[in-house]
Structure 1
Amino acid sequence: MYPEIDTPALVIDLDVVRANVSEMAKAAASNGVRLRPHIKTHKMPELARMQLDAGATGITCAKLGEAEVMADAGIDDILLAFPIWGEPKLRRLAALRERARVRVSLDSPEVAEGLGRLGGPPVEVLVEVDTGQHRLGRPPGRPTADLVAEIAAIPGVEVVGLLTLAGHAYHSRTAEELAETSRREGADLVATAELCAREGIALREISVGSTPTARHVAGVAGVTEIRPGTYVFNDTAMIRLGVANERTAGARVHSTVIARPTPERVVFDAGTKCLTSDGTGTPDWIRVVGHPYAHMDFLNEEHGVALLEPGHHDALPVGTRVQLIPGHACSAVNMFDSAYGVEGGRVTTELRVAARGAVR
């Protein structure tokens, strides 16, 4: 299992990634919507280019730092799905707009007023709507329509659409619940846009979709683009939701058993500084591939501690190398400076996680 790679290490199966990228591109195309993948999952220009080459019309970034890295790589159609506040960031955004088409999402007049002072062509903005996650945005319908009207009156900005993230879909307990949450995500935004149109504000973009909801919400009439991110790698959260499986999990942390202090306890050399604590407490939130009888118990900074089921206490001796599927691919990737790319069972490249730590 790639003995030339020292552990712990982030290993990306590029064959799996290409298949994941192709499948989501086909799902978008078959529903007549644009695909604008969120690059916070991989943070690598090479993989963003792979997504664009497969049919994506642009990319989504969480932070200006990510967008700057992608623009440096020649990617020139970017949605910043995060409110931009403060003069330092506004100066950077102005510079970024000179070399890329940049849209920004927001949910307040205060942020819009800052964008409006940039000068030049109006800043295209999408107003974020709270469809159930209760993070950013006002509820759909009248509360959002009123906000759209207020922001549309601010000089220097152009409201081009609505945006949401149905993050609450991650808590779905059944496939039917996930499908219904996805449908509501799209339908609520479309209905809100129709209300805005009746009041004289035409919105041409309805931007939706996390990885769990993307394939469902792409089929809602009126949706124009989907923004999945995790699908490129997948993780145990996607497996739990039934939108991925171990075969489609393309990013894994390779680790080594460094201790067997008791018959049932296994200690790996990868802890929160590789896998993060996201998902802690969820059953099998980190999967030990090929060893279903090993269940991760807890993580410390440098240690991952798993427990073996009775009857398997002789498994996983010291020195055994394993592959761990993280609970959250996006945060795990951000822990590494680089990743090893494998193709056809061979290590073929080393990829720099170029936007790692780009949190400003």
Structure 2
Amino acid sequence: MTSLGDANAAQRDADAILSPLDKGVPLGIAPMPIAAVSAQQWNILRGDLPLPAALIREESLQHNARWMRSFIEANGVQIAPHGKTTMAPALFDLQLAAGAWGITLATPHQVAAAIALGYRRIFIANQIIGRAALRYLFDSIAADDELELYCLVDSIDLVEQIDRIGDDAGATKRLAVLVEKGFAGGRTGCRSVADATAVARRVAASRHQMLAGVEGFEGIVRGENLETTLQAVRVLLDEVVEVAEHCDREGLFGVGPAMLSAGGSAFFDLVVSAFKRAKLAVPPTILLRSGCYITHDAGMYAFAMRFLRDRAPELFEQGGPRAALEVWGYVQARPEPNLAIVALGKRDLSYDQLPVLQHWFRPDSDMSVPGALSDRHKVGHLDDQHCYVSVPADTPLIVGDMVGLGISHPCLTFDKWRVIHTVSERYDVTGSIRTYF
């Protein structure tokens, strides 16, 4: 795969400019094309960039792309990575080059950004509500024969609203929709197989919609423990299959193989197993939507991978996904013997689960590479711009040291940065990527 530092790999960002308006770029920088970053020969450890800064270790990123590609190819399924994780065209392109079928998105803004950036196969893992957004979808597919859009419905009311807006728009093409099967206590999605099938029948009779498949999302299913969570995930996936089989028997699907879609970054192996058991007249297209695998993390997804390894050890024969996304900051103060304050906070990284201190480096010392920090260094809490770290008595950290934090939940770190740098294993900056949140 092409390095993200190469201009060709960032061609969709060809007009993107780095400037002093961007966080994490050299102070007072003259505006420059993002494609010129790799030629600057910046290095994080040398202090060429102000901190905090968000970094992606490129070697781990490329490994993760190859890891998921091997899974989808071995199982004969497709993936449309959830682009809302990164909203970064350079990473979308990397995922497409690694075999992705398309890109998944969630909101009208995300869809409009992707279309403006040139993406032409978009799975919208959400119900789209409102005249402006639905009119935009109808107008977009009418104006571009190559554009494929898929979205979700979970009620007859919504199906009828879409038809009325299609009438008002003078729609000439049908919108491809999937019926969403949800679960009690969850967010969107029909709560029963019967309700989902009824919605599917209404779609099949629609003036402006075509039933493309059945969808569910298992990633937010939670039980009292791992066993009950896995059982609830399997029940939901089996119900998605049951709805699809009802639709198939009644001839409700439109042209081509039906699509069965689910699969976040924690249970995608269970999705494949369940959906492959579907008994349809034509084998379905199985579409996963994992997004966080591309950078992985040091928190919730690292935890989930422990259980995936137990379920499917063969996926880890060449090593599992690696945490690629880090946020670095300076030790700003040591006001108490067992406390260090790092100059970064909620404005810089996700905090639904606290970050983990992993690396440290002392500028202008004889250190050539970062050192590891023991797990006795623990983040206690975060303010907007400050990170409170409990440190042991023998900590090496002093004011001015750099620390690298592993994050949990990549989605909520990416959205805090307009620019994220890719780095080598020696923290040379190999390029930069632009996000579009």
TM (norm. structure 1) is: 0.89
Which secondary structure state, in structure 1, belongs to the residue aligned with residue 397 of structure 2? Answer: coil
1:336 positional shift: 0.7
User: Structure 2 residue aligned with 1:103, among 130, 133, 150?
Assistant: 150
Matched, 1:250 2:319: no
CA-to-aligned-CA distance 1:224-265 (integer Å, 9 cap, x gap): 111001111112110122259997111111111111111111
Aligned residues: 347
Counterpart residue number, 1:190: 241
Q: Distance in 2 between matches of 1:253 and 1:62?
A: 26
Aligned twin of 2:403: 322
Larger radius of gyration: 2
Q: Counterpart of 1:287?
A: 356
After TM superposition, the structure 1 = structure 2 runs for residues 1-360 of structure 1, keeping only pairs within 5 Å, are: 2=45, 3-97=47-141, 98-99=143-144, 100-116=147-163, 117=166, 118=169, 119-131=171-183, 134-169=186-221, 173-174=225-226, 180-202=231-253, 204-220=258-274, 221=276, 222=278, 224-235=286-297, 236-242=299-305, 248-279=322-353, 285-289=354-358, 290-291=372-373, 292-309=375-392, 311-312=393-394, 314-345=395-426, 346-353=428-435, 355-356=436-437
Give the residue type in structure 2 aligned to 1:238: Y
* CA distance in 2: counterparts of 1:246 and 1:334, whole angstroms: 25
Per the alignment, do residues 261 and 39 of structure 1 end up closer, same or farther by CA in structure 2, a change over 3 Å counting?
Answer: same
Moved more, 250-259 or 141-150: 141-150
- Partners in 1 of 2:326 and 2:154 — Cα distance? 36
SS at match of 1:242: helix
Report deviation, 1:319.
1.3
Check whether the contact 1:37–1:56 (CA below 8 A) recurs between aligned residues. yes
The question of whether the paired residues in 2 share the 8 Å contact of 1:259 and 1:267 is answered with yes
1:67 & 1:335 partners in 2: Cα distance?
Answer: 19
Deviation at 1:327, TM superposition (A): 2.0
Q: Which amino acid aligns with 1:42?
A: T
Partner SS state of residue 29, structure 1: helix
Aligned to 1:282: none
3-state SS of paired residue (1:274): coil
**How far apart, CA to CA, are the structure 2 residues paired with 1:170 and 1:241?**
13
Equivalent pair of 1:108/1:151 in contact (CA under 8 Å)? no
- Distance of aligned partners of 1:200 and 1:94 in 2 relative to their CA distance in 1, 3 Å threshold: closer
- Percent same amino acid at aligned positions? 24
| Deviations 1:173-198, CA, capped at 9 Å, x for gaps | 54x66654554443221122112333
- TM-superposed deviation, 1:72: 2.4
Q: Is the 8 A contact 2:64 2:293 kept in 1?
A: yes
- Does the residue aligned with 2:416 lie in a helix, a strand or coil? coil
Question: Cα deviations across residues 147-174 of structure 1 (Å, max 9, x unaligned)?
Answer: 2223332321111111111133466854
2:177 partner SS: strand
Segments of 5+ residues of structure 2 without an aligned counterpart are: 1-43, 279-283, 309-318, 359-371
1:328 match: secondary structure: coil
Shift of 1:15: 1.7
Distance across 2 between alignment mates of 1:322 and 1:304? 11
Q: Which runs of 5+ in 1 are unaligned?
A: 280-284
Deviation of 1:344 after TM superposition, in Å, equals: 4.4
What is the DSSP-based 3-state SS (H/G/I as helix, E as strand, rest coil) of the residue aligned with 1:82? Answer: strand
- Equivalent-residue separation in structure 1 for 2:376 and 2:222 (angstroms): 25
Decide whether aligned partners of structure 1 residues 130 and 51 sit closer, same or farther in structure 2, where only a CA change above 3 A counts: same
SS of alignment partner, residue 64 of structure 2: helix
Which secondary structure does the structure 1 equivalent of 2:127 belong to? coil
Secondary structure at the counterpart of residue 293 of structure 1: coil
Letter in 1 for 2:300: A
Q: How far apart, CA to CA, are the structure 1 residues paired with 2:203 and 2:72? A: 30
